[in-house]
Amino acid sequence: MDYFDPNLADSLSLRRVGIPRYVVSNILKYRKAGGKFRDVSSFSKIYGLTLALFEKLKPYITISSEFLAKRDTFKHKGIDSIKIYKFQEVTQVDLNSADTTILKKIPGIGSGLAKMIIAYRTRLGGYYSVEQLDEIGYIDNKLHEWFVVKNPIEEKDKIKVNSFSLDRLRNHPYMNFYKAKVIIEYRRKRGKIKNLSQLSFFEEFTEKDLNRLVYYLSFD
């Protein structure tokens, strides 16, 4: 699923992420009347949007900085405000362990982008390469120098080829309905899939697919 900003996305983009046509109409009417979504939770209040759909969309919603709700500054015991202090020089940050606080210290990364990096990490099960950031969009490749990938992808976060349901298989960014379906059909007719080479016989899996999925598949 693609990331989207409900303040900026056009009707086609909103429909593409699974929002019903009549809800899209309500969103556009709300924006035309001057309404703005100041945070992710405010989007849940749009008329016709079910809680179940909102929860599904929530990890992919981004709010551009120009629309973010303004927050009161704190004046307490000499503290005028809470600030995020940026790194002054290039600092290697591990993509698989950094939280939003660390990510926001990197020049050029704010709250929205930090959340997108972590949301995509969750969907993947972990990063194996810094270049995977390019798959998110909105990220200048000049930021690559700030990152390294230290921690390996854990077994518990991998795709269980022989036990996951169709929905769980297709949910991974490097899978889709057709790839998931051919795996389910093979399991139903012939039993377990033993290794990556078996998937190479299916036309649904390209060489590029297999080169990326090798880090995420578990055949146990």
Mean pLDDT computed over 212-219: 96
Mean pLDDT computed over 167-178: 94
Mean pLDDT computed over 8-28: 91
pLDDT of 66 = 66
Q: Which residues sit opposite 165 in a β-bridge?
A: none
pLDDT of 110 = 86
pLDDT of 83 = 55
Indicate yes or no: pTM above 0.85. Answer: no
pLDDT of 36 = 87
Q: How far is it, in rounded angstroms, from Cα 52 to Cα 157?
A: 24
pLDDT of 59 = 84
Mean pLDDT computed over 113-137: 92
Cβ atoms < 10 Å from Cβ of 120:
20
With a CB cutoff of 8 Å and minimum separation 6, the contacts of 131 are: 144
Cβ atoms < 10 Å from Cβ of 205:
20
Q: CB-hemisphere CA count at 13 Å for 16? A: 12
pLDDT of 81 = 43
Report the candidate in 188, 177, 180 with the shortest Cα–Cα distance to residue 164.
180
Query: Is residue 115 pLDDT above 80, yes or no?
Result: yes
Query: Is residue 82 pLDDT above 50, yes or no?
Result: no
pLDDT of 111 = 85
With a CB cutoff of 8 Å and minimum separation 6, the contacts of 22 are: 48
The chain-wide mean pLDDT, for the chain, equals 87
204: helix, strand or coil: coil
pLDDT of 112 = 86
Give me the long-range contacts of 34-38 (CB less than 8 A, separation at least 24): 36/7, 36/67, 37/6, 37/7, 37/63, 37/67, 38/63, 38/67, 38/68, 38/69
Q: How far is it, in rounded angstroms, from Cα 9 to Cα 6?
A: 6
Mean pLDDT computed over 168-186: 95
Q: How far is it, in rounded angstroms, from Cα 86 to Cα 191?
A: 53
List pLDDT tens digits, range 35-66: 888 888 889 889 889 988 998 898 888 887 66
